[in-house]
Amino acid sequence: MSTSTPVRPEHLGVIAQHPSVRKLAMIALALGGFGIGTTEFVAMGLLPEMASSLGITEPTAGHVISAYALGVVVGAPLIAALTARVPRKTLLIALMAAFTIGNAATVFAPNYGVLMAARFVAGLPHGAYFGVAALVAAHLADRGQRARAVALVMMGLSVANVVGVPVASWLGQTLGWRSAFALVAVIGVVTLGAIWSWVPALAAMRMSNPLTELGALRRAQVWMTLIIGMVGFGGMFAVYTYISTTLTDVAGLSRSLVPLALMIYGLGMVAGNLIGGRLADRALIPGLFVSMTALGVLLGIFVIASHNPYTALLLVFFVGAAGASMVPGLQTRLMDVAADAQTLAASLNHAALNIANAFGAWIGGVVIAAGYGYTAPAAVGALLAVAGLVVLTVAVAMERRSGRSSR
């Protein structure tokens, strides 16, 4: 091993300290994120096909997105707390197996009710998987590079929007929407093999217990960070849930170019994820302020920009970048404020983001159904980003006041 790589005590029990093996472990973890990101976002681009196939309206079809998000919200705390004593590698394999089964059930769902149940099941392991994967990445990272390691794992989620979602969306439009989720199930199987082969045993990772993990819920800063994610991301998902119809009916983009638009959004997420990881490692709180301010401004501009196909696509990129840049910072922040309850806190981050997903899909549908049009979700989203900034400001003030009172 190169002498330029510092060895921390918690790394000594990891056989895979060699950089090349660490890289393979990161790829395996990111591959799981790739599958999860594909299944989470592809439904947003296939709502018209799903609605037509099942004989329901598009806003009703949008409820399958909420069902998946609800699965994340329910599964994240339950799984993280109840599996606190399970070895991390074993847990990752179990979570990815459950994810694969849920997506296979989506493929064969005979009606809307069963589809809703299948999407709920597919969402259950989402938050716990990302929470555990983030902790594993931080465990394997060099000193001072935790957020960048977390960002590498989340990169799978971002790349999914560049490759996985457009390809699955194209498949869904060409062969039927079920084929998109069949592709996701295949990705799940491949990920299982990669985690089994490439992720080390992680024997040196400290185990916890359910009561310790549940202790995260007693920490005010954990809740404040979660609320930031719930509020701040709600606006982005309000726009992205109905992005397909917005781009075709408002911007005048051809339906065949929607996968390209999703790819552009994914490229923005990749860029934002990389930027967010570096910002979080250098200056965590200022970085979050920058990301959330940018998101609010860009959503406001999107209200006007969405009337032209070129400016709409440009803003799709920047909105994706601004939103994704928040994720490494929020994940790292939760690990910092959770103390010895990091698994639950890290998992709850994605529960919070999926509450934002469900809330965003709902509020977007509400303003559209009220007759305000497909640009209204972006206006509401800008306001939600501002609300997220207010919550972040309050959280920082609380932390400073608590620090002064403890001296």
pLDDT digits (tens, 9 = 90+) for 142-189: 666 777 888 888 888 888 878 888 889 889 989 999 999 999 999 999
Query: d(Cα 49, Cα 86) in Å, to the nearest integer?
Result: 40
Q: What is the pTM of this model?
A: 0.77
> How would you classify residue 311: left for phi > 0, otherwise alpha for psi between -120 and 50, otherwise beta?
alpha
Mean pLDDT of the chain: 85
Q: Is the pLDDT of residue 55 over 70?
A: yes
Cβ neighbours of residue 322 closer than 8 Å, sequence gap 6 or more: 236, 268, 272, 291, 294, 295, 298
Domain positions in the chain are: 10-405
DSSP 189-227: HHHHHHHHHHS---TTSPP--HHHHHGGGG-HHHHHHHH
pLDDT digits (tens, 9 = 90+) for 92-138: 999 999 999 999 999 999 899 999 999 999 999 998 998 899 888 87
Q: Span 50-78, mean pLDDT? A: 85
pLDDT at 5: 37
The proportion of the chain whose per-residue pLDDT surpasses 90, expressed as a percent, equals 40
Q: Span 353-368, mean pLDDT? A: 83
Report the CATH fold assignment for 10-405. Answer: Growth Hormone; Chain: A; (1.20.1250)
Q: Which of 97-106, 254-263, 394-403 has the lowest mean pLDDT?
A: 254-263
Q: Is the pLDDT of residue 393 over 90?
A: yes
Q: Is the pLDDT of residue 36 over 80?
A: yes
DSSP 142: P
What three-state secondary structure class fits 132? helix
Cβ neighbours of residue 233 closer than 8 Å, sequence gap 6 or more: 323, 326, 352, 353, 356, 357, 360, 388
pLDDT at 206: 67
Q: Assess contact for 35 and 91: CB atoms under 8 A.
A: no
Residue type, 336: D
